[in-house]
Structure 1
Amino acid sequence: MQEPARDELPGVMVVDADVLVRHVLAEYLRTCGYRVIEAASSDEAQNFLEHGEVDVDVVLVDAQAPGRVGGFGFARWVREKRPGIDVVLAGAPEHAAEQAADLCEEGPHLARPYDPQSVVDRIKRLRAARTRVDEL
C-alpha cells in the first residue's frame, strides 16, 4: 500500500488535560504531517466539533479527560454524533476495557504509557480500515 501524501493525512484532535503529554504528542504528529487540534477537556473538544470549522478524522481522548462528560462520555458522544470520526481512547484503566470496547475501533484502548509512534500506527490502521469499508 502506498503511503498517503502529507496533505492527505487525517486531521487529529488530541484531548488531554496534561499539557505536556498533549503538546509532545501533538508536535510529534505534526512532524509526521498530520493536522492537529489540541483540547484540554471534553468540553473544549466537543465545542470544537460542534461549532468550529475543524477538519477532524481521528480523536485521541484521554479516558480521564476533565469536562462535563469526561473522556468516556466524549468518546461516546463522538461515536453517536460524528460517526465519520474514528476514536482512540487512551489511558483507560484495565477494568474499564469492556466499557471502552464499544467506543473505539482497533481494540478497546491505548494503554499508558504509550509512545507517539504507537499513536501514529493506530491512526494508520484506523484510516486503512475505514478506507476498506468505504470502498465496499
Structure 2
Amino acid sequence: MIRVLVVDDDAYIRELLALYMRNEGYTVLEAENGEEALHILEKEKVNIAIIDIMMPKMDGYELCEDIRTYYDIPILMVTAKGETDSKVKGFQSGTDDYIVKPFEPVELVMRVKALLRRYQVHESKKLILGPVVLDSNTNEMVIHEQTTMLPLKEFELLFLLGSYKDQIMTRQSLIEGVWGMDFDGDERTLDVHIKRLRDKLKRVDSSVRIVTVRGVGYRLEVQS
C-alpha cells in the first residue's frame, strides 16, 4: 500500500489532498507543520511527501532539505506561490516537482504517480471496466476470460484512461502521465498507442472504447 504524507497548516487543504490520494487507494498521513512531519517520518514508512511552503515552525523549504538529507522519497511541493524565484528555491531545496494552487485534481494525481514511477515505488491494483479487468501486477488485460498481455506503455495508457472513465483527458495530460514531463517526442506517439489499444479492444469486446474528443484529447467509455 502506498503511504502519502500530506503536510500543510491549512486543515481544508490537507483534507482535500487526502481525499484525492485516498481515491487512488493510498494511505494518507497528515501533518500541520514541518516539525510534525519529521516526527511522523521517524516512526512511519512513507513513500512520498506532498508539502506546502508557507507553514509555521518549519517552512516547506527547510522541511524539504531535511527530508532530502535523511530520506530517499519523492517530494511534491504544493503552494500558492507561483513566482519563478519560489520554484527555483523549491528545486534547490530538493523538491522533485512543484504544483501551484489552485490545481486540477487529475494533474496532482498524475504528478504523484509520475514521481512514484521515477522512484520505482510500485502499487498493486486491479481496475474493472465492464467486462475488462486490468491487472497492474502483470500488465494483463482480461476480457471474458481471455488474457492479453499489453506492452508497458499501452497498459499504462489504458489504465490511466480507465482510472478517469467518462472524463476527458487532454493529450498533454496523457503524455505527461505515461511518458513523463520530460518526454521529448511528439503527439504522434500517443496517437499510435491509442490506435493499437482500440484495435485490441475491438477484437475482444466492443463495449469498451476510446473516444476522440476533437481538439482536446480522449475519453474512455464503457457501454452497458
TM-score by length of 2: 0.49
Whole-angstrom CA distance in 2 between matches of 1:37 and 1:98: 27
For structure 2, list consecutive stretches of 5 or more residues without a partner in the other structure: 122-224
Bigger helix fraction = 1
Matching residue within 53, 56, 60 for 1:63: 53
Correspondence 1:49 to 2:37: no
For structure 1, list consecutive stretches of 5 or more residues without a partner in the other structure: 1-6
TM-score by length of 1: 0.79
2:4 maps to 12
Correspondence 1:104 to 2:104: no
Correspondence 1:39 to 2:31: yes
2:126 maps to none
Q: CA RMSD in A?
A: 1.7
Whole-angstrom CA distance in 2 between matches of 1:16 and 1:59: 11
Instruction: Please identify the structure whose Cα radius of gyration is greater.
Output: 2
Correspondence 1:21 to 2:9: no
Whole-angstrom CA distance in 2 between matches of 1:45 and 1:89: 14
Which whole-Å deviations, capped at 9, do the CAs of 1:61-103 have from their partners, x for residues lacking one? Answer: 0011222x31110011001111x21111111441211111231
Tell me, what secondary structure is at the counterpart of 2:39? helix
- Contact 2:20/2:109, CA 8 A, preserved across alignment: no
Whole-angstrom CA distance in 2 between matches of 1:24 and 1:88: 15
2:103 maps to 114
Which whole-Å deviations, capped at 9, do the CAs of 1:11-70 have from their partners, x for residues lacking one? Answer: 1100011101101210221121011101111111111112x2x22111000011222x31
Percent identity (aligned): 27
Q: Looking at both structures, which has the greater relative contact order when contacts are Cα pairs under 8 Å and sequence separation is at least 6?
A: 1
